[in-house]
Amino acid sequence: MATGLLLRASRRLLAAAGAGAGAGRGAHGLPPRHNKKRWLRAYLEQQRLQAPPQRRSEKPNWDYHAEIQAFSHRLHENFSLELLKTAFVNSCYIKAEEARRQGLGVDKEAVALNLQDNTKLSEQGESFSRSYLTQCFEGAYPNLPAKGIGALVDFLTSQELVSYVAQNLSVQDLTLCAEFPVPPRVLQRTFFAVIGALLHSSGPEKTEIFVRDFLIPQLIGKDLFEIWELINPMGLLVEELTKRNISSPEPRITRQSGVSTVLPVYFVGLYCDKKIIAEGPGETLLAAEEEAARVALRKLYGYTENRRPWDYSKPKQGWAVEKAISSN
């Protein structure tokens, strides 16, 4: 009887001691006994980093309809949602989906998806953007020849630039495509399809403003001859000057320094009728002459670094009418 009491008391004491020791260990900051392995967290992080990239639509929390609506609000545009959804569907996706359904053994009627391609919208969008950009540049730089304008438009509608713009506007998340990460060609096509959808939903004026707002800022900080590869700037300059009835340029060294050293610098000035039109630096005389020709061409075409920045203000439709009324 007394031993039983003692046993129970000792068990209670042990339990209390254990709890006290546990609390004591916790108070002293010692870890509990059955914890996860030390390397587990780092291993799981490594697995997460090495996992192949997944589409956003396959990750949790994704609502396609809500995302499409947010997309149209984000761009401050009123899209018709069916056209926008069609714009994101690519032909590779349709083929992959039908192949997958056939592979799963679904019957013939259910295999054919009721989805339309975005090829037509994409072609319309691309041709509209190109024509609008050509029109813009012809108006803004009237002295720039057609080849230069063509080079600028090609740069702005090129794969890398358009896919970069599309990626930073979350077009990649919304595109329905067979491969992931979406290849740049598909992103370019999808972006032009979005422009085509906007063309059909809101009309040409709004689409023009859209193209202007997203593609033309990509020219900020870029030089004309970075975009337009010229082989013979001096020849082109002579042509341009003869078109304007100015005599051919005479190159003269205006400044030079360090001629006999390993890093010489020559400034060559181009003179027409003994008046200077441009001056350019270079490491050798030939390089300096070429650079001077390029500077002269930039001045002639009006594409210098200190030109007036592009006008992004809202075009007022009734402006011409108001001006006519106010002048009367």
Partner 1 sequence: MTGRGTPSRFLAAVLHNGVGRYVRQLQRLQLVFSPAAPDARGARQFVEEAALDFARRHPDVVLYISPRSCPAPLLLAEYLNGTVREELIASKTSEEIAQLATKLANQSGLDIIRIRKPFHTANPSVQGQWHPFTNKPTVLTVRGPRLPPQ
Q: Give residues in contact with partner 1 (CB under 8 A).
A: 60-61, 63, 66-67, 69-70, 73-76, 165, 168-170, 173, 212-214, 216-218, 220-221, 252-257, 267, 269, 305-306, 309, 312
CA distance 129 to 121: 12
Angle among Cα 91, 96, 102 to the nearest 5 degrees reads 130
**Minimum Å distance from CB 167 to partner 1?**
8
In the chain, DSSP finds a helix count (H) and a strand count (E) of: 16, 3
Query: Could you give phi then psi for residue 226, rounded to 5 degrees?
Result: -75, -35
Is 192 or 236 the residue whose CB approaches partner 1 more closely?
192
The amino acid occupying position 251 is P
Complex with partner 1: residue 4 or 60, whichever CB lies closer: 60
**102: which residues sit within 8 A by CB, 6+ positions away?**
111
What's the closest the beta carbon of residue 75 comes to partner 1, in angstroms? 6
CB of 128 to partner 1, least distance (A): 17
| Distance (Å, whole) CA 294 – CA 278 | 9
Tokens, residue 34:
């059955």
Q: Which is nearer to partner 1, 145 or 164 (CB)?
A: 164
- Choice between 175 and 236, CB closer to partner 1: 175
d(CA 211, CA 219): 13
**Starting at the edge strand that comes first in sequence, how are the strands of the sheet with 265-272 ordered?**
250-257, 265-272, 275-282
In whole angstroms, what is the distance from residue 44 CA to residue 292 CA? 59
Q: How far is the CB of 34 from partner 1 (least distance, A)?
A: 18
Question: DSSP assignment, residue 179?
Answer: S
Give the separation between CA 176 and CA 210, rounded to whole angstroms.
23
CB of 37 to partner 1, least distance (A): 18
**Please, which residue, 242 or 284, has the CB nearer to partner 1?**
284
Given the complex with partner 1, which of 74 and 95 has the nearer CB atom?
74
Residue 303, CA distances (Å) to 100, 119, 294, 295 in order: 53, 35, 11, 10
Cβ-based neighbour number of residue 130 at 10 Å: 17
Q: What minimum distance in Å lies between the beta carbon of 144 and partner 1?
A: 19
Nearer to partner 1, 45 or 63 (CB): 63
In the complex, least distance from residue 48 CB atom to partner 1, rounded to whole angstroms = 13
H or E element at residue 257? strand 250-257
Nearer to partner 1, 200 or 252 (CB): 252
CB of 156 to partner 1, least distance (A): 13
